[in-house]
């Protein structure tokens, strides 16, 4: 389900006001904005394209920096065989301050920022094997260049560690971790508009995936166990809010029943089913109680553990909140166009 992330984060123990580039001070009601640069003024940096070599990623980052993509607080998460922004030397373009445009050479994947509004376009029918397993040969029998036995279906997301930057290798002290057990409230807001979501390939990959072809746009909050000192450690737990789940028809149901399970790396995954469903051409506002989402997910994990006679209790105080992701995970060929804006993760006193 979720791909392996070998990153780390710098966090803080309680939600307090402090000065830092891209982060706001606390408001009149005692809340503080946890996200850095929620309006994307500094753009998005070349991030974690699991199927690119370190040399390719470094070359891409150098080119983007020279173009003016500097001090970005957000990073791309890409799993792809042939729809990498890094492969297009002409991207991104920066028409004016705060405006950014990335595109693949064939235009099948695009990412635009304009006045704080993000627009993502992706057609996985133009991806390797039309959105099928990225580690298998194509119809002509050619082997993939970046094939990986674990990260096999297309992902297109952006993310941010609740940190001073998104650089890997940072080891955290206990006081630097953003705990979720205290009295603070944590609410995430975002407005999303679905412009297009339709099947774009007849190639059925159900046999290789063990599931119907589908597209999911979600917000994910990543927990780490207290024993972990960096995000690269084991024991992750992904708390997901699906904004839409589609198999290419009108039955777009975002986790109509909550789901709990493990991904291919053995990390926990929880899908919440208590949030709005996107409808084409309409802005939908989300106000997510992140602490409640976490409680629901850990309670579901505990219930599952007890039912399986493993008797493990999953407790809020045993985790810290490391990072978040927003974007697409697609199995099969889908043509998508989506926008979002007004991101905010506010921390503050309970009851506000």
Query: d(Cα 319, Cα 180) in Å, to the nearest integer?
Result: 7
Domains located in the chain, CATH noted: 32-348 (2.60.120)
Give the residues of the chain that fall short of pLDDT 50: 1-25, 255, 351-352
- Provide the pLDDT for residue 29: 66
**HSE (CB half, 13 Å, CA atoms) of 46?**
28
Sequence-ordered strand ranges (E) for 162-236: 185-199, 214-225
Query: d(Cα 148, Cα 51) in Å, to the nearest integer?
Result: 7
Using a 10 angstrom Cβ sphere, with 0-12 exposed, 13-18 middle and 19 or more buried, the burial of residue 265 is: middle
Q: What is the dihedral of CA 7, 8, 11, 13, to 10 degrees?
A: 120
- The angle formed by the CA atoms of residues 27, 239 and 242, to the nearest 5 degrees, is 95
Quote the DSSP letter at residue 20: B
Q: Express each pLDDT in 268-294 by its tens digit.
A: 999 998 788 888 899 999 999 999 999
Contact at 8 Å (CB) between 67 and 94?
A: yes
Contacts of 140 by beta carbon, 8 Å cutoff, 6+ apart? none
Query: d(Cα 326, Cα 319) in Å, to the nearest integer?
Result: 21
Contact at 8 Å (CB) between 324 and 160?
A: yes
Q: Measuring CA to CA, which residue among 138, 131, 150, 143 is closest to residue 202?
A: 131
- Provide the pLDDT for residue 171: 79
Contact at 8 Å (CB) between 34 and 64?
A: no
Using a 10 angstrom Cβ sphere, with 0-12 exposed, 13-18 middle and 19 or more buried, the burial of residue 226 is: middle
Q: Express each pLDDT in 118-153 by its tens digit.
A: 999 999 999 999 999 999 999 999 999 999 888 899
- Provide the pLDDT for residue 263: 86
């Amino acid at each position: 389900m979720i791909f392996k992330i070998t990153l780390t984060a710098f966090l803080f123990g309680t939600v307090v006001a402090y000065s830092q580039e891209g982060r706001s001070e606390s408001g009149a009601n005692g809340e503080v904005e946890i996200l850095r640069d929620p309006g994307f003024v500094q753009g998005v940096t070349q991030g974690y394209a699991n199927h690119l070599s370190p040399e390719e990623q470094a070359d891409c980052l150098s080119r983007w920096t020279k173009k003016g993509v500097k001090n970005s607080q957000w990073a791309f998460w890409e799993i792809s065989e042939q729809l990498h922004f890094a492969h297009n030397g002409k991207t991104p373009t920066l028409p004016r301050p705060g405006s950014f445009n990335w595109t693949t050479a064939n235009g099948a994947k695009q990412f635009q920022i304009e006045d704080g509004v993000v627009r993502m376009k992706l057609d996985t029918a133009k991806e390797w094997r039309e959105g099928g397993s990225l580690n298998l040969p194509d119809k002509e029998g050619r082997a993939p260049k970046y094939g990986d036995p674990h990260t096999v279906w297309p992902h297109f997301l952006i993310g941010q560690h609740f940190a001073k930057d998104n650089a890997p290798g940072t080891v955290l002290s206990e006081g630097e971790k953003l705990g979720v057990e205290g009295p603070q409230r944590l609410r995430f807001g975002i407005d999303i508009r679905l412009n297009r979501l339709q099947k774009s390939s007849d190639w059925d990959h159900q046999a290789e995936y063990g599931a119907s072809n589908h597209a999911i746009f979600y917000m994910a909050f990543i927990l780490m166990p207290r024993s972990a000192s960096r995000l690269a450690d084991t024991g992750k737990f992904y708390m997901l809010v699906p904004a839409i789940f589609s198999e290419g028809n009108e039955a777009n149901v975002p986790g109509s029943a909550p789901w709990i399970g493990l991904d291919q790396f053995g990390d926990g995954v929880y899908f919440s089913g208590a949030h709005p469903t996107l409808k084409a051409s309409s802005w939908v506002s989300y106000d997510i109680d992140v602490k409640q989402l976490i409680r629901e997910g850990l309670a579901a994990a505990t219930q599952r553990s007890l039912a399986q006679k493993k008797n493990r209790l999953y407790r809020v105080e045993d985790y810290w909140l490391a990072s978040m992701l927003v974007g697409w995970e697609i199995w099969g060929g889908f043509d998508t166009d989506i926008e979002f804006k007004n991101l905010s993760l506010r921390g503050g006193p309970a009851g506000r």
